[in-house]
Structures are given as structure tokens and as C-alpha cells.
Structure 1
Amino acid sequence: MKQIGKGGFCKTFLAVDEGQFPPVPCVVQELSPESETFKTFQQKVQRLEELGKHPQIPALLAYFQQNRHFYLVQEFIVGTNLAQVVEEEGAFNETQIWQLLEDVLPVFQFISDRNIIHRDIKPHNIIRRSPIPKKGDFVIVDFTTAKLVTEIDWLTSETSIGSPEYAAPEQARGKAIFASDLYSLGVTCIYLLTQISPFDLFDIANDCWVWRDYLTTKVRDVWGQDSKSLRLAQILDKLLQNAVNRRFQSTDEVMQAMGMEAKIQVALEAHQKCENPPWQCLHTLTEHSGRFSSVNALAISPDSTTLASASDDKNVKLWDLNTKKVLASLSGHSQAVKSVAFSPDGQILATASDDKTIKLWQVETLEEICTLLGHSHAVKSVALSPDGQILASGSWDKTIKLWDVNTGTEICTITGHQLQVNSVAFSPDGKLLASASYDRTIRLWQISALAGSQTELQNRPCYSLLATLSGHAWAVLTVAFSPDGQILATGSDDNTIKLWEVNTGQLICTLVGHSWSVVAVAFTADGETLLSASCDKTVKLWRVSTAEEIVTLSGHVDSVSAVAVSKVRQLIASGSRDKTIKLWQLVEQDNS
């Protein structure tokens, strides 16, 4: 379609694979014969095939040779490189740098574990997939100058490769090592913080970096005022050391300095303790088998006889939990269904969709009662009040709406979140509503008594903001109240679960163990156990009183996107992007 890059012996083009339907955009890199032999090209292909298995590295789609040139065809990453992001949005703040490091350091570890040095880390080669970055949204691209390190490489030198502004001193001398990529990452960070060329951030006369002098006044005023920002400054300084022996030697060291290593260790220890779990998967439901059949949401009816499952195929399935068979399939939404909820009496099912609508269904007759219209963007979550009279919906239009279930009319719109709302939940007494958002906050709303005429409702507010809970480093994806209403559990893109005291808004503890985003949480009926579902393909059970992990349920082969727990049976349901639903039951342990 067009040339989008050129450097050294490589040209990069945006292309379209018309052999696919619909046509698929991709990136084609043309390598000149001066830079490659057939043998080195084959070696490069092998490296790219291995690296492309990581979700934050473009996959290699094809490769070939034509007219003496070598060609690589790679996945096209939709997004904006960080050089463009800074130009369009201005310099990064401390939180954005911390998020970037947390997101890309595991990718650097993946690369170095395979004895590969990228050798051209810079803002242009890091792509942000979306304006509101989630875990895994930063992608490392352009591995044309990447090098596989062998023992003999430590004894030889080569010509300087990479971008002079970002290359480590030893790399400029033809002696790139693993720590060279970390140096380039450090330089990338200080450029993002200052929007000043790295050449101008280095004081040649005194042989030192002076990046702090170029921070904006607003950033400089808060920089180093708390322990976290001070630690980040120290990490950047150590990444930028000219002398290799004073620099971080490995990604592990950087992650440990950031506290990420501890999280990994906790996860490993928890996994080792749970090799023989008391919860076992006794049934796997596979009827969601179409191409677009990722299971997005689950709900178990109050009497635990019926399971509702929502999918990307636009349908909602109802399952008989005794026979494990599909009772019915509800169709009517025009886009993926993202949330389902039963009314307290089990007679009504609410469904929310990316098509901006909510539908109410009569469970017994399987008939659609009504469609609720009003949101201007995808609806990601619905919850019904304990008395079944009010429905709350959270949307990517940044609002929450309250609806009268009996009439299907909108009661009010709740605004306040700065970004998309991902999840809503009522407290057991129905007086509070919790909402979770991409703005990294959880808000507690006090819901007013909604009895009275429609005129009276219009003349008084139906809600008030009670508290804003902050502490998650990334988007908050899910919320759930404990059965006694005293604890609020939240799951986030930062891989953690937080427990909050509802009455005071104080953080009780942070549960660490998942290695990827936590997308769903739910309490058991007795409130003693918390369930969490994660993109790391697992469901974890936690003891609420001690904040310790009880067990990890493994078996899904892709991200777990939903979890539901029975109120009357020892039964857990989990849904996944692998298109399956697993039913887990507590089995007796043989202690003989």
C-alpha cells in the first residue's frame, strides 16, 4: 500500500493480504542482499518465528526471496508508536512510565531468555495499541537488527547498529550485550518524560545525564516527593549508567527493583502448593464452538438449576446444571454480549451488549420483555438490586444508568468517572452501588430511596457519591461485594485483587498471585472465600480472613473471562476465550 519506514538495509511497507477474507493488513520488510545471506536470513526467520509467539511481539506470517531481496511478512499492530504519542499528547508522567516498564519488562525478559538482543529499542519501535493502555498493550516491533548471541560473539566486534540517540556506549563500539537493550529502554523513558532529544539530555562536559533539569515544572514539583517516584528515579538512573558494571545486568534485576519479582515468586510458590486441589473440573461445556464464541460472562440462577452464558457470537445460552445440556439460546443482540445477571427471584435475565443495549428476558417463557436504550457506547456490565426493582448498567460511554425493571424506563444517569466504566455491583442491602473504571478508580454511590411518582423521581437526585477508592496501577475491571456488605473486592489490569473496607473506604489488603489481568471476582455464599478469574488462564480461590491463596484451578487453554459461584451448591463455573465453560466441584479428599 505504501512505504512506512526505511533504515540501513531495510525498507518497511504497509501491505494487505488479499488472500484472506476480509483482507488482512500486514507489514512487509524488504531486506537488501548486502545485509543478508540465505543462511543469515533463515536464522533471522527462526528467531522471528520464536519471538512472534509472545502476544507483545508481532507474529511472523510469511517469508520469501525474490529478485535477490529477502522479505518478511509480519502481523500489523494497530496502534501508535510512542514517538507519535508524545508528539500528539505531550510528555509522559511518572505513572505512565511506571506502567510502561511494568508492561514491557516481561517482554524484554522473554527476548533475553532466548539469547536475543533487539539492538534498536526506541520510542518508534514501541507501539501502544489503544489510547487507554491495558496490560499487554505495549508491543515491541522491528527485530530486523536483532542478534542471536553465541559464545563467540563475546570475543568479536561488529559495526555499530541501532539509533545513535538511544544506543548504549558499548553498542556504539560494536559490543552490544543484553544490558544494552535496558540502557536504550532507560533513554526511551527519559525522552518520554521530557520530550527532549537524548543528545540534549546528556552533559558531555560532566559525563552525566541531566534529564531531571528538563522535566516540566509540574512534574518536577512532585518528582521524588514519595517513595515510589523516588524509586522510579533511582531505577532510571541505574538503567542509564554508561559503565556496564554499574548498570542493571538483567531484566530480572530491574523487575526486582520495581517489586515485580516478588509477585512472580508468590505466584510460583502458590502454584507449587496447589498441585492436588480439592476443587476438580468434572464437566466441560463445549457448545460455544463457533469462530466468534469466546465466553464473556456467566451467571448462576438463585436456585442453582440454571447457568446463563454470554458469548461473542451475540447469543446467550441457558444451561440445565443437572443434565449439563443447553435449554435454550436467546438471540436478539446485534453484537457481542458482555454481561448477564439473574433477578433475585430468578424470573428475569438481564443481558448487556456491545450493541449499546440491555435486554430483559422472561426466563420461564424465554421471551424478550424489553430493550433498554440510552447508552451511547458498549454496555459492559449489568447488576440487579436485591429487591429486583432496579437495574444498574455500566458503559464505555463513561456513565452508569439506573433503570426501573418493571417499566423499562431510565431512572437516572450517574456521571463522574473520567474513563470507561467496566463493572457495577449492588451492595446486599441495595443502598450502595460500586463501579469500576479504566480511570483506575472505584466509586461508591449511595442510592436514594426510589419509591414515589415519576415526577417526584425527576425532581430529586437518585444518587450521591460516597467515596472514590484509588490504589490500582491500571484499569479496574471488576467489583463484587461480600455477602455481609462489609468488604468490596476489586480486580485490575495490574494483576492484583484489592479488598476494601466498605464503611471507611480503607484498603484492607492486596492479593498478589495472578500473572495477568484479573477480569472477574466473586464471593462464595458464606463470604469466607473469594474467587478470581484472570487472563493468565486460571481461577484462584482466596481465604478472605487471612488473604492467603487456597488453590489455583487450571485447565483452560486461553484467558478466563468469567466466573460464577452457586449460592446453594459447592459449584463454580468458569468461562474462557477458549470457547468452553468448566464446572468445578468440591470433592472429598482421601486423607488415608
Structure 2
Amino acid sequence: MSYCLNPKCLSPQNPNDVEFCHHCKSRLLINQRYRPLEPIGRGGFARTFKAIDDYKPSKPYCVIKQFHGKGFDDAEKSKELFHREAVLQEKLGKHPHIPELFAHFTQDDYLYLVQEFIDGRNLNQELKEKGTFSEAKIWQLLENLLPVLQFVHKNQVIHRDIKPENIIRHSVDNRLYLVDFGIAKLATEPILPKTGTVIGSEGYTAPEQHEGKPRFTSDLYSLGATCYHLLTWADPSRLLYSWVDWQKELTDRLETRDISDELIQILNKLLQPDISQRYQSAEQVLHNLDREGIQATTEPPLVFPTSAAKTQPEFWKCVNTFTGHQWDVFTVAISPDSQILASGSSDHTIKTWDLQTGTTLYTKVHHTGERSGDVYSITFSPSGETLVSASWGSAYYAQRTTMTKTIQLWDLITMEVLRSFPGHSSSVNSVAISPDGQTLVSGSGDKTIKLWDLHIGKLINTLTDHSESVNSVAISPNGQILASGSTDTTIKIWHFATGKLINTLTDHLKSVKSVAISPDGQILASGSTDTTIKIWHLASGELLNTLTEHSESVNSVTFSPDGQILASGSTDTTIKIWHLASGELLNTLTEHSASVNSVTFSPDGQILASGSADTTIKIWRCD
């Protein structure tokens, strides 16, 4: 999707790869290079957009900031402020924890900055998703951000808007980045907006900044207010009205949290309203951390206990059995609206079913021309309008055998083939579609992973680090990480946009048959012919748990939509239901009479579907 940056455009969304907006005819490619994709923020002076750099072959993401200049009486001074931001960003972007400036230019009478895109979530989003921060995470925040502020202040810059929204945790390595220098200023050269406007965010600005006299220590106050909010979820704006009440509230909120006196003392000093009583520099705070014996650490990985309290069992009941395939069912998938099930079989057919009634909607032979093949993998697009299938088979032509290695895109309504994706030289074992619906990923017996533009069929990238067949691929919910499992016994973790290999996980003893990523993007599960399931922390690659109740190959693993439950299907004919956090086995389902090849939850979480070598598909509900 391309997004029109004309602020007056009433219909800014456009198809990919078009040059001009279909509504207002404005140019969509900024500086003949950067293609906006979607808005991601709006501040007092500018709008920001996620974009891609069309100039580079890998088309990496970037951020476009478009200046609109509202809030200033003097247009020239407002332009000077925006230019100043570009100068500061170019200077400060040399720090590894501050986004780099790529470009600064004017187009169609608008000013633009283009910056490095930081793939991750800001700390306010993290707070909403995971709850209040632990003491360890607050120490880690201080340890990571104080050296950044030290660098910023040594360059005579005051940020003036430090808050949870302007601190981003990278999704791959957990590093923290300080972003948005839009209202930063040089300590020696003030540029002020119209009288009466407070620069900064309510609750996070120091008293002297409210009076229009920010100092370096004002940023330290904002960092303290950020820690206070993340630790307690309390509104930091009350800090401005009653210091005594705030101290009492902090004590009351934290006395049941087992928070150390050392941390409370540091927050108290960061948040002193009297500037003379506050820390005067980032160096002072860092020295205080050293004196307290706080060691610099990285964010601790999410570790699941292996001996948690007993969990209630999951009572899953088989409520329907779909019959119609004549041979093994290799793969099942459920549409995003939880209404349709699709299945693929060694009988060379794809079937679609009404999930509620079990009625067969379509039966199609997976083929190219007259050739057909076993259907190994099938997946729905995020929109639910199409599905993709992958096959491997043979047919006889003029007394010779021709092998098919076909990926096909189907219209779900008509079940007609919209496009084929030839290119693999061996079986296509697994397919996945990126969350934005733009990219198809395929893993093959030819040892490669291929990335395709789903809509035009163009090959984007080929990943070649596996030494044997690629059996399974999975994409993280944020679309930034790709995981692959292989017969070479390894799992490889890749950066989705660039194809860069990030990590290789090597604890399985035999072929990795299936990989899946949890809905929150933190956990990777893998199933192997070594009969085990392994649970990994995706960002760090740390092995968290090994589940060992299956007696034969684990062919398929899948997470429930809430991320609490893991289901696995095995050659031992069983499906096992696990509590993810504890690793406890909750239930074993035994209705299938042959190998369970595929398991999947419906997006609404109400149904588990399984496909088996006994030719059936079974539908399960939890009582």
C-alpha cells in the first residue's frame, strides 16, 4: 500500500507501485526514492509515516517526517526549527541508540526528514501489553538511557520530550532507542514558539521547563517521571502539584512490590522539583548506580518456570470429523474469520469446508497444466480473500517422469488459480504469508527459503544457509522476524526485510518438522523427529523448556490465539495440549488412528483442527 502525503487528500491510500495518488494526483514517491506506507504518528509540528526505501534492492523500512509547522506565529522560525532538528539528528544519529538521519529536503512546498526505522514497540505500548515494569526492567532502562543522555548533553542538546512513547525497545535484540528530537534544542540557542506554549509532554516536563527555562537536568527529571509511570502506572502529572503527596503515593504503591530503597532514592532525586536538589548530570546518576553496585545488564529474557503450580486440565472434545480425502491429510488451515477450513492431501487435492457444518465447499486438484502433486502446506492470506498451497509430485509424460514443485495462489470465492510461483527445484514443504499480506515465504527440499511478492509473483530474495531440506517457516506477528526449521536439525532466525541471518538454534538432535511463533512474538516453539518440543525465547535464542511426552516424531506445533496454550500433533497418533508457561501437559487427544500431520487453532480460539494420515480432519472444542 502506498500512502499519499498531501494533507488535503481525502483518500490517501493507494495500491503498491503507482506513481501518483488516484484521488489528488500528488506524487507518491518522495524525493524519487521513499514510498510512504502508513501514518504512525502526529505531533505538534509534524506527521510521521512508515515508508520503504525503493532505491535499495532490499527495500528497507524508514521513517518519513513531514513538517506542517502549526503552533508557531513565525513561519521562518518554524522552518528554522525543522532545519535545526535535521542538523541535530545528523549529529546525534551517530550514536548507536539514536536513529540515523538519511535525508532532509523539500518537495511540493513541504519539508521532510527521512530517518532510520527502529523495529520495535515503545515503552508505553509495552506497559499496556505487559503491565507495570519490574525493578530489574527499571534498572535496565536507567543503565541504557543514561549513557545516551550523556552523549546528547555533551553535544549541548536538551531533548525536552523524554517519555515512554519516545523510547523504543528493538524487537530483535531488546536494545532501547531514544527517538523524536523534534523539540530538542541547543542549550545556547533557544528557538521558542508563540508565548504561552509549553514545550514538552504534560507530566514529564520539569518545573523549570514549564517556565520556558529547560536545563540538561530537565531531561533527567523526565527520565525519572518515565520510570515512575512505568513502575506504578500512576499519572506523573500529579508530580507538579504535590511533592509530598507523590512521595506518599510512591511508597504506598511500591511497598507491596518489594522495590529496593536504592531505586526509590534514585527516583526521588531525579524527581526533585527544586533543580538544586536534583541530579545535575547523567554522569552523576551513573556514578550513583556504580556506587550502589548496579551492574549494566541487558533485558532479561522471558523465562518460563518448569515446575509451576498445577494447572487445570483442558477438556477438548471431538465435535466433528470431516471425511472426503482418500489419502493422508498433510495440512489444515482456518480462515481469519474462523468460518472456512482448507486442507491439503496426498490425494493431490485441496478441499475447503464450512467449519461449522463440515460441508465440503470445493474440491480442487493442485496442478500445473495436467500435472498434480501431494499438497504439503496451505495458508490463508490475512484478508481471507485468497489462500496459498504448495505441492510435490510426479506425472508421466512420453515415458518419463516430470516432477512438480508448485506454489499456487487461489481465489477463495471461486477457487480458481490466480497465480503460480515456480522456482524451487524440490518439494515445497511450507508456506507462510506476512501479516501485511504483501510477501509469501516458502521453504523447500532444495534447502532454500524464497520470498515472493504475493501480488505480482516476483521473487524478492532467496535464503540459502540451511544445509538440508527446509520443512517449516513461520513469520512473527509484527512481520519482522522469519524462523525456519530444517532436516539439518537447526532452526534459523532471520531478519525478514533484509534476509540477514540473526541466530541459529541447535539443540534438536534430529530433523525439525515444525516451527511456530507465539502471538506476542516472544516465544518460538519447535517440533522434531527427535520426539521433543522445544520452547525458545525468540529474541535471545535461549532454550526455555523441552517437552518430552510424545513417543514419536512431532510433526506440527501451534499456539492458541491468547498465547497460553500450545498444541502438538505427532506420528504417535496423538494430539497433546500444553500449558505454555509451565510446560505442563493438560490433555492428550487420541481419536486419530494414524499420524497427526497438522494442527491449527481457529483465530477466534474456539476450535482446534487436526489433519491425519487416517484421511480425516477432526474438529475439537474445549469444554
Q: How high is the TM-score relative to the length of structure 2?
A: 0.47
Q: Which has the larger radius of gyration?
A: 2
Q: Give the TM-score normalised by structure 1.
A: 0.50
